Amino acid sequence: MPTIYTIGHNRTSLERFIRLLQEAGVDAIVDIRLRNTSQLAGFAKRDDLAFLLREGFGIEYEHRPDLAPTPEIMDAYKEDKDWPAYESAFLPLLEERDATGLGREIASRYRRPCLLCAEPTPDHCHRRLVAEWWAQHLQEVKVIHLV
């Protein structure tokens, strides 16, 4: 996995979202959202997005909740917006869940995977933390955030 991409779906149009994926040559979306079936997800609702990507653009889709925060971590962050506390809670979870092994597994199946979450930018999003984890623990991984 020489390059891992990340993307958020909030505050972007479907057209822009797809064009970013196509321009990067993404072959799989790895959905790491905890809650991905809400009506608020719009075009990125799990089953709709999986169908659209696969049938319309030949992009694979898989949901990996084992790379998502726990409900407790997510809800605490929504309440207090304390990003350092979020990171402090989430990073040990990646170790506990063997995020390195999960990264190797994903790399064995996809050439250009892209981590999906809702946040429009990676700054305060766990997709950045997962991508950085892989860059640190897997060999020669480059991270590109599609925004």
DSSP label of 70: P
Whole-angstrom distance, CA of residue 73 vs CA of residue 38: 19
Q: What is the average pLDDT across 122-137?
A: 96
What share of the chain in percent tops pLDDT 70?
Answer: 98
The reported pLDDT for the residue numbered 43 is: 87
Whole-angstrom distance, CA of residue 32 vs CA of residue 122: 13
Q: pTM of the entire structure?
A: 0.94
The reported pLDDT for the residue numbered 37 is: 82
pLDDT tens by residue, 90-120: 999 999 999 999 999 999 999 999 999 999 9
The reported pLDDT for the residue numbered 42 is: 80
For the structural domain made of 3-146, what CATH number should be given? Answer: 3.40.1010
**Smallest Cα–Cα separation from 20: which of 35, 10, 5, 33?**
5
